[in-house]
């Protein structure tokens, strides 16, 4: 059966299931719309997906999403609820198409659904962001002094740090560091990691008393994690003490003032460790978090595991590491990974206001409290022979064929075949 015909024949079923899922979310998030309005949102969106499938392009859903964003902005509403409708309908459509179409049609249909809804979701967010003047330049319009050569706000600042992958600004006593490399999905390469460390040093010299770490406006991935291309291919610890990402994590944890991770989009692998190394996390409903070394056959280091032990119960740590599955924003909030879960339209202002509040407090007191907490969490006693045994086990793992298979599979964009050797 052709995709658009399959969808059209299941309209009531799909719309009903998605509306029921939205109703369940409504009971948790207390949106202002009525059940009838939510059902109407779903049906309208479903019909746009069918239309786009029929005409072979995404223009109908893009135009409609732009209009919805403009209407919501004009009425003073955010777009979080509409974004939730996109997410729920996508989940239901994937389940339905995966069970309804033959193998040769399924992959194509799922890709088309993803492309159609992705185009609409992007148009919705970009239009709203543009209308609300929340482009990357919006921060510079309200900043204080610039940070000097290579930083945003200066004549040489358009390039930013790390070849433009990292940008930094000052807003009062708050520093803002933005990851801005869409091509690599903000992968934490050596250059990017060093750029963030340099930005922290310059912000400290500028006298800021709190820092917000974010992805640049408009990016759907907060960070894809450690740059896989830079991992050593066996016979060397992939997460050694002097690895640039490890140096970045230490710089965040030892920075004398609060560092707040502001998360819009997905966080993967080592970037999740980076988020957990920040002092607080503020996220919106688009945020997801996954720790993925098991996908690569990579033995995570003991220091990194201690970062997780400081934030999560052991059973949740095991679930995340053993499955490598993403955790959505609400679950991350329930698990206390996220301090505050707010709507996308509120995320920037809420985070900056929170940082400004902290920056207004006694800086010496905050610095010493942060350092005391770090020392208490980081310095867990371990016998020398136990440490040596753990390092031996890790060496067996990163010297194994499984580790090379994980790296090769990632590079070749195929599922890995692990043999335990």
Q: For residue range 91-102, list pLDDT tens digits in order.
A: 788 777 777 776
Burial class (CB in 10 A: 0-12, 13-18, 19+), 160: buried
Question: Which position among 84, 226, 265, 403 bears the catalytic label?
Answer: 226
Ranges of the chain with pLDDT below 50: 1, 27-31, 133-159
Is 41 a residue of the active site?
A: no
pLDDT of residue 82: 80
**β-bridge mates for residue 211, sequence order:** 175, 259
**CA-to-CA dists, residue 124 to 70, 113, 345, angstroms:** 9, 16, 12
Question: Which position among 157, 195, 269, 270 bears the catalytic label?
Answer: 270
The predicted-structure confidence for 345-402, as pLDDT tens digits, reads as follows 999 999 999 999 999 999 888 998 988 888 888 776 667 777 777 778 888 888 888 8
Is 297 a residue of the active site?
A: no
CA distance 234 to 61: 47
Strand 327-328's sheet: what is its strand order? 221-223, 266-268, 288-290, 327-328
pLDDT of residue 30: 41
Strand 174-179's sheet: what is its strand order? 166-171, 174-179, 210-215, 259-263, 280-283, 340-341
pTM score, two decimals?
0.61
pLDDT of residue 143: 41
pLDDT of residue 375: 82
pLDDT of residue 2: 60
pLDDT of residue 153: 37
Is 270 a residue of the active site?
A: yes
pLDDT of residue 24: 65
Give Cα 10 distance to the centre of its chain.
33
DSSP 61-99: HHHHHHHHHHHHHHHT--SHHHHHHHHHHHHHHHHHHHH
Question: Which position among 128, 300, 398, 403 bears the catalytic label?
Answer: 300
pLDDT of residue 160: 63
* Helix (H/G/I), strand (E/B), else coil: 177: strand
């Amino acid at each position: 059966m052709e995709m658009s015909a399959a969808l059209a024949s299941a309209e009531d079923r799909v719309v009903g299931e998605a509306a029921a899922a939205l109703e369940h979310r409504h009971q948790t998030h207390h949106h202002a719309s009525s059940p009838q309005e939510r059902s109407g949102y779903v049906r309208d969106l479903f019909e746009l997906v069918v239309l786009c499938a029929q005409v072979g392009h995404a223009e109908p859903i893009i135009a409609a999403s732009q209009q919805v964003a403009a209407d919501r902005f004009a009425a003073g509403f955010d777009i979080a609820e509409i974004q939730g409708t996109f997410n729920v309908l996508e989940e239901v459509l994937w389940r339905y198409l995966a069970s309804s179409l033959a193998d040769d049609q399924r992959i194509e249909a799922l890709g088309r659904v993803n492309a159609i809804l992705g185009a609409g979701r992007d148009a919705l967010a970009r239009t709203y962001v543009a209308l609300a003047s929340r482009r990357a330049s919006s921060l510079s319009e309200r900043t204080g002094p610039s940070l000097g050569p290579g930083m945003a706000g200066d004549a040489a600042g358009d390039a930013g740090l790390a070849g433009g992958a990292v940008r930094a600004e000052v807003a009062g006593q708050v520093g803002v560091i933005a990851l801005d490399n869409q091509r690599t999905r903000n992968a934490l390469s050596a250059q990017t990691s060093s750029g963030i460390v340099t930005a922290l040093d310059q912000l400290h010299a500028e006298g800021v008393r709190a820092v917000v770490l974010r992805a640049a406006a408009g990016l759907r991935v907060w960070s894809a994690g450690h740059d896989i291309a830079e991992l050593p291919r066996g016979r060397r610890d992939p997460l050694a003490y002097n690895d640039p990402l490890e140096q970045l994590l230490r710089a965040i944890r030892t920075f004398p003032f609060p560092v707040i991770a502001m998360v819009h989009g997905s966080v993967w692998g080592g970037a999740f460790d980076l988020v957990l190394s920040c002092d607080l996390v503020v996220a919106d409903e688009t945020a997801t978090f996954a720790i993925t070394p098991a996908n690569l056959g990579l033995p995570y280091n003991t220091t990194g595991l201690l970062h997780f032990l400081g934030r999560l119960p052991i059973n949740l740590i095991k679930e995340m590491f053993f499955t490598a599955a993403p955790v959505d924003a609400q679950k991350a909030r329930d698990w206390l990974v996220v301090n505050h879960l707010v709507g996308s339209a509120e995320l920037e202002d809420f985070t900056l206001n929170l940082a400004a509040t902290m920056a207004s407090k006694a800086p010496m007191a905050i610095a010493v409290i942060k350092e005391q907490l770090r020392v208490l969490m980081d310095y867990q006693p371990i016998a020398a022979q136990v440490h040596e045994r753990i390092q031996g086990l890790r060496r067996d793992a990163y010297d194994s064929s499984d580790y090379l298979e994980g790296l090769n599979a990632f590079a070749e964009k195929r599922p890995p075949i692990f043999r335990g050797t």
